[in-house]
């Protein structure tokens, strides 16, 4: 059992767990609130939403999963995972650009109901 | 035969075996969900922006489910810490909340959210018009083919105020106008689809990822419920080993929560 799992340390951590819990709820409220703020660019919306999600995920990993004070063996495992995860993401996204030069995608040809002129 | 390192740490890793095992398993899970996430990104950036379904999922329900999973995550870790301090009664209370949260999440997903989509339609008319809405009588899984086979000549359709995230037409007060129900002849329909995986890539990947996540919630919930119920006998004979089992199940549960933290904004809000 690591020092971080000792009786006193656990007692101290219980307060932190509750702080993290309320932070996660606040983060969720922020994410939903930001949805109603219409950013001009889609890329801004995506970036902001993913930053908030990453902060929330980091809090879960660091405190609930105890990654802020874990053993080296676990960090090593996660480092290898992170490398392969990043490589996979890169390959998938790179595939998007894997089209012949000067390829033109056809413009949208659909007519949404709300834009149909009233008859 | 005694299984080694169920409580004592292995000298080389500094961890008991189940802990290193669950982290290796979680590493494989990262790759599984990562592959599906990257598929989603590829489909999203490659789609025609105007025809990518947006604003069709129920945000209040999704937000509530997020809060349910976050609550279950904190009760798991509080339960484990109560156990490490020798308070078995408190552990039981916390884990009971966790199991209830898992059940609530699945009930909301399977009995409210999914059926809501099975009765929500998009119709592609032969003149190029597309609209989303509900068919009178709220039938599930209706298609153009089924209309033709059933010799149904027309459907009464209540269109939504807007199509996807398109700006809706304003009424006299400046708010979004509620369209009147329309009668659509089967002969005028090119395609009719409920929001099922067959509707298109968005709902294909939405159902794949959320159903896979739901299976994880189910699996994690069953393990936590087992440890809370019949598996709790181990506490009397080997409390340290029991606490380790609870910790391992908790690590899996936090991962399930972590995946949802990304799924929620990606599908519901972007």
Highest averaged pLDDT of the listed ranges A70-74, A112-116, B23-27, B125-129: B23-27
ipTM for this prediction: 0.89
Q: Which chain B residue lies closest to A29 (C-alpha atoms)?
A: B63
Whether residues A92 and B254 touch (CB distance < 8 A) is answered with no
Chain A: give the shortest CA distance to residue B229, in Å.
23
Contact B72, B98 (CB under 8 A): yes
Tens digits of residue pLDDT in B95-122: 999 999 999 999 999 999 999 999 999 9
Chain B: give the shortest CA distance to residue A119, in Å.
13
Give bridge partners of residue B193 from the DSSP assignment. Answer: B122
Whether pLDDT at A108 is above 80 = no
The residue ranking higher by pLDDT, A4 or B162, is B162
Q: Which of A17-26, A85-94, B46-55 has the lowest mean pLDDT?
A: B46-55
- The CATH fold assigned to B23-118+200-269 is 1.20.120
Structure tokens given for B106: 């699945």
pLDDT recorded at residue B81: 94
Average pLDDT score over residue span B66-93 = 96
Residue A113 binned pLDDT confidence (cut-offs 50, 70, 90)? low
Tens digits of residue pLDDT in B120-176: 999 999 988 888 999 999 999 999 999 999 999 999 999 998 888 676 666 666 666
Nearest CB among A7, A31, A65 relative to B269 is that of A31
Domain ranges of chain A: 1-65, 70-98
Domain ranges of chain B: 23-118+200-269, 128-194
Whether pLDDT at A109 is above 70 = no
Chain B: give the shortest CA distance to residue A57, in Å.
5
pLDDT recorded at residue B88: 96
Nearest CB among A46, A61, A72 relative to B270 is that of A46
d(CA B24, CA A83) in angstroms, rounded, equals 14
Cβ contacts (< 8 Å) between B127 and chain A: which residues? 111
pLDDT recorded at residue A106: 62
Nearest CB among A88, A96, A113 relative to B46 is that of A96
Nearest CB among B70, B128, B163 relative to A25 is that of B70
Highest averaged pLDDT of the listed ranges A1-15, A74-88, B31-45, B93-107: B93-107
Tens digits of residue pLDDT in B9-44: 888 888 899 999 999 999 999 999 999 998 888 888
pLDDT recorded at residue A94: 78
pLDDT recorded at residue B169: 65
Whether residues A64 and B254 touch (CB distance < 8 A) is answered with yes
């Amino acid at each position: 059992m690591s020092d971080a799992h000792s009786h006193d340390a656990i007692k101290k951590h219980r307060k932190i767990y509750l702080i993290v819990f309320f932070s996660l709820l606040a983060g969720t409220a922020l994410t939903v609130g930001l949805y109603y703020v219409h950013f001009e660019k889609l890329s801004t919306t995506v970036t902001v939403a993913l930053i908030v999600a990453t902060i929330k995920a980091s809090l879960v990993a660091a405190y609930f999963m105890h990654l802020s004070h874990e053993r080296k063996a676990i960090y090593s495992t996660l480092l290898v995972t992170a490398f392969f995860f990043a490589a996979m993401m890169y390959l998938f996204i790179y595939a998007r650009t894997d089209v012949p030069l000067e390829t033109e995608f056809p413009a949208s040809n659909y007519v949404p109901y709300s834009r149909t002129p009233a008859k | 035969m005694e299984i080694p390192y169920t409580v004592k740490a292995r000298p080389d890793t500094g961890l008991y075996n189940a802990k290193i095992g669950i982290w290796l398993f979680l590493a494989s899970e990262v790759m599984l969900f990562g592959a599906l996430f990257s598929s989603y990104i590829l489909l999203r950036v490659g789609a025609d922006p105007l025809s990518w379904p947006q604003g069709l999922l129920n945000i209040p329900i999704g937000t509530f489910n997020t809060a349910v999973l976050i609550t279950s995550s904190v009760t798991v870790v509080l339960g484990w810490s109560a156990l490490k301090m020798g308070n078995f009664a408190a552990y039981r209370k916390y884990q009971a909340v966790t199991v209830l949260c898992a059940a609530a999440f699945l009930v909301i997903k399977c009995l409210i959210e999914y059926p809501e989509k099975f009765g929500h339609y998009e119709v592609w008319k032969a003149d190029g018009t597309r609209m989303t809405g509900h068919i009178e009588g709220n039938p599930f899984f209706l298609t153009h083919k089924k209309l033709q086979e059933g010799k149904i000549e027309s459907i009464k359709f209540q269109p939504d105020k807007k199509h996807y995230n398109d700006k809706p037409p304003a009424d006299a007060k400046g708010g979004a106008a509620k369209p009147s129900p329309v009668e659509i002849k089967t002969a005028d329909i090119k395609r009719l689809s409920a929001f099922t995986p067959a509707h298109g890539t968005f709902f294909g990947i939405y159902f794949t990822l959320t159903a896979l996540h739901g299976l994880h919630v189910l699996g994690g919930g069953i393990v936590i419920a087992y440890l809370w119920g019949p598996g709790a006998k181990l506490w009397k004979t080997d409390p340290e080993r029991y606490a380790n089992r609870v910790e391992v199940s908790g690590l899996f549960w936090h991962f399930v929560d972590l995946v949802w933290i990304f799924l929620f904004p990606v599908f519901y809000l972007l």
